[in-house]
Amino acid sequence: MDFKLTEEQIMIQQAARDFAQTELLPGVIERDEHSKFPTEQVKMMADLGFLGMMVDPKYGGAGLDSISYVLAIEEIAKVDASAAVIMSVNNSLVCAGIEKFCNEEQKQKYLVPLAKGEVIGAFCLSEPEAGSDATSQKTTAIDKGDYYLLNGTKNWITNGGTASTYIVIAQTDVEKGHKGINAFLVEKSWEGFSIGPKEKKMGIRGSDTHSLMFSDVKVPKENRIGANGFGFNFAMAVLNGGRIGIASQALGIASGAYELALKYAQERVAFKKPIIQHQAIAFKLADMHLQITAARMLCFKAAFEKDNGEDISHSGAMAKLFASETAMNTTIEAVQIHGGNGYVSEYHVERMMRDAKITQIYEGTSEIQRIVISRGLTK
């Protein structure tokens, strides 16, 4: 593994940084306050090729490597974690899942507009009573010959309201357990598909999270992904890559908060010296820097292994677990370093602290990552 970034990777990092500073930063506090989806900014991200970053150009993507993807998400999440999750779901759950596992016809129909960012996608696995325990899902897709009849509810779906294409995981044959689960490409406009109200959230308030209801939705047979019964393995394989996206989002939240705290600690004077000259504050910053550097290395390692076609279940889980714990610890300390100012929205770090929490929950909680990592130890 080469620790030196290529010219192209540096260029992508810079483009993401410029975009985040000029387009995302100005309205980020307001979007958080009003739970406003960054519609205009997502269009710009599409123009920059950030919504289908790793997709082959022949399907409308930017054809970049996974390290570039980590760098871009980090820069975007430094400023706006909501924009980062919108991007992560579209890239690593939806586009990656379709590109790797769908047939040519499905790719032409669904992947091309998603990779170009003309439409947004969502990935629907979780249910009111089946989050971590994903095989216990109750949504059914019953085989009716030419089509499947889809019934059930999915919960907490990112891009739930803005998406047009949904990957929906459902149980076709309960008797077969996880081997009876299938994944489907579902369109928003289909009869029987309805969207619940937008969730009111602690953080990532610029992203839209909804429950989705399916009532006798007819899904054409040709919209099943892969062979009959492949749906759970599909979901797990896709989530391995997705976890690199969320790890990078967490890394960005952490490094954004660290940079603000470092600057503040050099400017703020208490007891006649900048607070960074108090060792208690300097040591906090040292620990933050250390953890962020380690988190970045784990993200790069997982991305590197992904591009080499290796099994990334272990490295993806390690990156996600460590980066999300780093995001939480770092943002709490960034608020502490800012003192009273850390508690008001103008200084950004309180939002970052609220945003950090979700990275320990979605795409597999920290407890689930430990399960995945520990199971991998004896493989």
Tell me which residues are annotated as active site: 363
Among 110, 193, 214, 232, binds ligand CAA (CB under 6 A): 232
Which phi and psi (to 5°) does residue 118 adopt? Answer: -70, -30
Q: Give which of ligand CAA, ligand FAD, none residue 233 binds (C-beta under 5 to 8 Å, depending on kind).
A: ligand CAA
Total residues at interface with ligand CAA (CB under 6 A): 23
Print burial letters for 59-68: b (CB count within 10 Å at least 16), e (below 16). Answer: bbbbbbbbbb
> Could you say whether residue 9 binds ligand FAD (CB under 6 A)?
no
Element counts in the chain: helices (H) and strands (E): 13, 9
Among 68, 126, 248, 291, binds ligand FAD (CB under 6 A): 126
Q: Give which of ligand CAA, ligand FAD, none residue 148 binds (C-beta under 5 to 8 Å, depending on kind).
A: none
> Could you say whether residue 366 binds ligand CAA (CB under 6 A)?
no
> Could you say whether residue 123 binds ligand FAD (CB under 6 A)?
yes
Tokens of 174: 């309960």
Print burial letters for 26-51: b (CB count within 10 Å at least 16), e (below 16). Answer: ebbeebbeebebbeebbebbbebbbb
Report CA-CA distances (Å) from 7 to 4, 11, 12, 302, 322.
9, 6, 9, 21, 28
CB 171 within 8 Å of CB 228:
no
Stretch 179-208 residues interacting with ligand FAD (CB under 6 A): 201, 204
User: Which residues lie closer than 8 Å to 175 by C-beta, 6 or more apart?
Assistant: none
Q: Which residue is nearest to ligand FAD (CB)?
A: 131
Provide, rounded to whole angstroms, the least separation between the CB of residue 233 and ligand CAA.
5
CB 160 within 8 Å of CB 90:
no
CB 31 within 8 Å of CB 82:
yes
138 burial (CB, 10 Å; 0-12 / 13-18 / 19+) is middle
Among 36, 138, 178, 370, binds ligand CAA (CB under 6 A): 178
Which phi and psi (to 5°) does residue 168 adopt? Answer: -115, 130
CB 165 within 8 Å of CB 129:
no
Q: Give which of ligand CAA, ligand FAD, none residue 268 binds (C-beta under 5 to 8 Å, depending on kind).
A: none
Which phi and psi (to 5°) does residue 150 adopt? Answer: -100, 125
Among 222, 367, 374, 375, binds ligand FAD (CB under 6 A): 367
CB 181 within 8 Å of CB 135:
yes
> Could you say whether residue 311 binds ligand FAD (CB under 6 A)?
no
Q: Give which of ligand FAD, ligand CAA, none residue 157 binds (C-beta under 5 to 8 Å, depending on kind).
A: ligand FAD
Provide, rounded to whole angstroms, the least separation between the CB of residue 10 and ligand FAD.
31
Which one of 228-236, 278-286, 289-297, 347-355 is the stretch in contact with ligand CAA (CB under 6 A)? Answer: 228-236
> Could you say whether residue 313 binds ligand CAA (CB under 6 A)?
yes
Stretch (H or E) spanning 334? helix 313-337
Provide, rounded to whole angstroms, the least separation between the CB of residue 311 and ligand CAA.
8
> Could you say whether residue 82 binds ligand CAA (CB under 6 A)?
no
Could you please report the per-residue DSSP string of 43-59? HHHHHTTTTSTTS-GGG
> Could you say whether residue 50 binds ligand FAD (CB under 6 A)?
no
Total residues at interface with ligand FAD (CB under 6 A): 23
Among 101, 110, 123, 322, binds ligand CAA (CB under 6 A): 123
Provide, rounded to whole angstroms, the least separation between the CB of residue 94 and ligand CAA.
10
Interface ranges with ligand CAA (CB under 6 A): 85, 89, 123, 125-126, 132, 134-135, 158, 178, 232-233, 236-237, 239-240, 313, 362-364, 368, 371-372
Interface ranges with ligand FAD (CB under 6 A): 89, 122-126, 131-133, 156-158, 201, 204, 209, 358, 361-365, 367-368
